[in-house]
Amino acid sequence: MTLKEKLISKCNDFALERKSHIDTQIEEINEALFEEIKSTAGDKHETGRAMLQMEREKVGNQFKEVEEMIKTLRKVDISSPSSIVHLGSIVFTSKANYFIAISAGQIKIGNEEFYAISSSTPIGKILMSKAVGDEVVFRDQKFIIEKIM
């Protein structure tokens, strides 16, 4: 398995685990909402239902975010090498290594650490379309792009 395949696999695992967690939350909220609806004890239960509705809306937004992550991962073409940073690139810099896909945090592959980031994050936006040798400044730190895969 190539390095890119390992990274995309870890990102997929991250997204699916997050989706599973959100699915469980939605189930729990729906069950609690059903119990609240069965109760007819007045204002206290109206407040409880309103709070559960708000929580369901919040979790619904998280679900949409995860669905977008999964769509983004499907777009990642790990087979196309490029001399500039794009979706699916592994970027080795003098400070850290990045995998441009989704925001999945730190991923360790063997002895190497990578930060899986979205192209829409602040550092992702800066890295996009850069080439080997380019100097990048992020949060008052300068670093050089050493290699792109």
Q: What percent of the chain has pLDDT over 70?
A: 94
Beta-ladder partners of 137? 142
Query: Tokens in use for 109?
Result: 């592959």
Q: In which band, very low, low, confident or very high, does the pLDDT at 81 lie, cut at 50, 70 and 90?
A: confident
Amino acid 140: pLDDT? 93
Amino acid 32: pLDDT? 86
Q: In which band, very low, low, confident or very high, does the pLDDT at 44 lie, cut at 50, 70 and 90?
A: low
pLDDT in tens, 91-114: 999 999 999 999 999 999 999 999
Give the phi and the psi of residue 106 in degrees, each rounded to 5: -80, 135
Ordered DSSP codes for 34-66: HHHHH----HHHHHHHHHHHHHHHHHHHHHHHH
| CA within 13 Å, CB half, 148 | 21
